[in-house]
Amino acid sequence: MHNSKRSALIAKLPERSRAVQAQGLGWQPMQPERGVYYPVPHANPNPRGWRTRRHLKRKNLRRSNRHHAFIDRIGTKWVMLPMVVGFMIFSVVFASLLVTYAALTEVTQQRYGEQVTTLLDILPKDSLKMYDKHGTLIYQMVDQGLQSTVPLSQISPHLVHAEVAIEDQYFWTNAGIDITGIVRALIADLSHQQIVAGGSTITQQLIKNAIVGNQDTAFRKLQELILAPAITRIFTKQQILSMYLNTIYYGEQAYGANAAAFTYFGLKDTSEATAASQLDIAQAAMLAGIPSAPVGRDPFLFPNNAFIRVQQVLHQMRIQGYINIEQERAAIHEVQQPHFLHRGVITNKLPQALHFISYALNELATDLHVKLNDLSRAGLVVSTTLDLPLQNQILKIARSHIAELVATHHMSDAAVVMIDYHNGGIRTLLGNIDPTNRQDGAFDVASDGFRQPGSTFKPIIYATAFSQGVSPGMPVYDTPYTISRCCGQSAYTPHNYDLRYHGLVSYRYALQNSFNVPAVKLLVQTGVDKALTTAQSMGITDYIGVPNYTMVLGTLGVHLLDMTSAYGVFANGGVDILPHSIDTVTDVQGNIIYRFSAPGKRVISKQVAFIVTNVLSDNNARLFEFLDCNVLQLYSNPKDQCLHGNRGMVRPAAAKTGTSNDFRDNWTIGYTTDFVMGVWTGNNDNTPMLNVSGIDGAAPIWHDSMLLAEQNLPVSDFANPGGVVLRTIYYPEGITTTDWYLK
């Protein structure tokens, strides 16, 4: 009853709500037109059952609303909240990555920024190259690999195309990195579950090789990606490619395109073209395939791998438009030929220059204040003083003369030094006539050996005496002479080479005929210390033995190079210029790093040097011992013609011979107005020779070599510097001489 009495309420909902539209609540029956109303029953305008359907619709609507409300409640808690949290985590991680990247960028720039800007200077340097005075290559240091930088314009365009095609096809347009290449390489690596592709651009590879190192880590890869755009901003693409092609490792200890062209195909630099510029398409494709696996694709070691790679390179070159199909097929055919590869080998075995090269390397290390090992990849171009053609000919002369004497006089070796004493340049340094001999050929007698110089040491004592006022015209008795010595030492009695005495003679005559007794008397007069000081000031600073009265006979062990240089002081008017083998040193761009410069130092007076030279060039004064047409005189005709009075052209020369005790060492040192030359002959094992003197052993080599060196040079005599006077004096001892005296 209670419910029946409740009044019915019409639902009120917004007119445009979804419920109103779904239930048709806003629907109203059509109003009858105005007119006459007939009070009779009217038909229900709604179809039967519409209230039931409306009820069901309302019920479903309420259920739907409750479901949506539930979804809204749990969605906020279980869907939106995780999304918000996930977004926040992503934001934090992304921000952290940005911060980390920014920090890594900052650290990388701080650490490598200077290296980026100075990349040209820090690239691996070329192998040291050494040339003679004519520009002929005589040596390359290859113990740390071979590298020879050439301009990009002198590298074959085929190699440029091949490298770009296989390593970085977008090189000319990218900013130093290739994102598509990195993604492609990453997908390949993930699919194979190992590193099978690199994805590094040419710029990145340059950075790896020159700056950050080649550790296979993600950190190093990020450093490449950070630095690559900076490299691209600072350097042009041509510069980047040039640096890459000149330093990339091609295997077989070959660095750079030029070295690789020589190593794999035997191509050599010429005056018209570099080795790298001569590469054809097939050769370029072969080289371009090597750097990604220098060992695994070495065509000498793994020809099949190399051939597969060549085909890949050629394919890329074709599809990128560098070559056509015919060129690709022709290149593949060329690679398959049996003599396609031709290994280039640097022997560095110039027998005639081995000792000079060794001496020059040690001098270079000293001049540059570095260790010898540091020179290998120093990128230096060294011009030396060596006259290689002349040395080759002198070696032949020395070998020929030794071959004539080895059987009769037991003489097996010779050493020769020639110096341009005007500037100290060593033109020839032969330390051994058989430098490839396994037993003792490597030993350099000229600069390392201590040998007794015999009578060639006498002019130094005479020069000391001349500086004290002695004249070569003064008399001296060549008679028995004994020196008492202190401290329990036995007395010293010198003897002449011929075991005879020659009475009253002049010092000129005594020196030119190499009499020992007058020389010892002169040393006693001048003093050992003063004579030794003269020798040291002239460059004889290294010696073995005890300086005493016997040293005038050459008992101290000295270097042939030092003795030759000392005679150059006489020739150069008393000025000592340090003998040297290094002329200039430049980098590969031609910038001068070192140039020999020594103004020289006066160690004896011009007048003393002139008097010594005048005596040593006096052929008439030495006829007693050496006879006429001796080889200390530089006559141009053969000896038999000289003996018949036809000497030919005679070039003024000053010379002295020397023979040590027991015939172990045989010397001749002499000079002209152009060069000074020293020759030693003997045996490497220091065994005595058989009955040979300086005029028979070393002098013929000196004579022939000097004439050879003087070819086509003008003939000139030694100049009088003034300050001396020619006097004729009668001495009470019973001798009259005409000779030079100091004013």
Residue 89 has what pLDDT? 80
Please choose, from the candidates 532, 534, 494, 486, the residue with its C-alpha nearest in 3D space to the C-alpha of residue 514.
494
Residue 520's SS3 state is helix
pLDDT tens-digit readout, 104-114: 676 676 677 77
Distances (CA, A) of 559 to 404, 451, 541, 651, 678: 25, 6, 10, 27, 10
With tokens 């008679």, the residue in question is 479
What stretches in the chain show pLDDT beneath 70?
1-44, 74-81, 96-104, 106-107, 109-110, 181-199, 216, 219-220, 349, 694
**Whether 116 contacts 223, CB under 8 Å:** no
- What are the helix (H) ranges across 572-671? 606-616, 623-626, 639-643
Distances (CA, A) of 508 to 458, 471, 602, 617, 650: 12, 8, 24, 11, 22
Rounded CA separation 95/644 (Å): 105
Rounded CA separation 663/481 (Å): 23
With tokens 């394919």, the residue in question is 315
Is residue 104 within a helix (H) or strand (E), and if so which, with residue range? Answer: helix 81-117
Q: Phi, psi (5° rounding) for residue 138?
A: -115, -15
Q: Phi, psi (5° rounding) for residue 483?
A: -110, 125
**Whether 279 contacts 154, CB under 8 Å:** no
Phi-psi region of 503 (alpha: psi -120 to 50; beta: other; left: phi over 0): left
pLDDT tens-digit readout, 498-509: 899 999 999 999
Rounded CA separation 694/70 (Å): 123
Residue 310 has what pLDDT? 96
pLDDT tens-digit readout, 581-637: 999 999 988 999 999 998 899 999 999 999 999 999 999 999 999 999 999 999 999
Residue 519 has what pLDDT? 97
Please choose, from the candidates 265, 286, 261, 264, the residue with its C-alpha nearest in 3D space to the C-alpha of residue 274.
261
Name the architecture of domain 143-335: Orthogonal Bundle (1.10)
Domain 419-742, CATH 3.40.710.10 — does that match? yes
Residue 101's SS3 state is helix
Residue 49 has what pLDDT? 78
Distances (CA, A) of 741 to 622, 654, 720: 20, 19, 12
**Whether 707 contacts 634, CB under 8 Å:** yes
- Beta-strand (E) ranges in 496-632? 503-506, 575-576, 582-586, 592-595, 601-602
- Beta-strand (E) ranges in 457-588? 475-478, 503-506, 575-576, 582-586
Residue 196 has what pLDDT? 44
Domain ranges of the chain: 143-335, 419-742
**Whether 453 contacts 660, CB under 8 Å:** yes
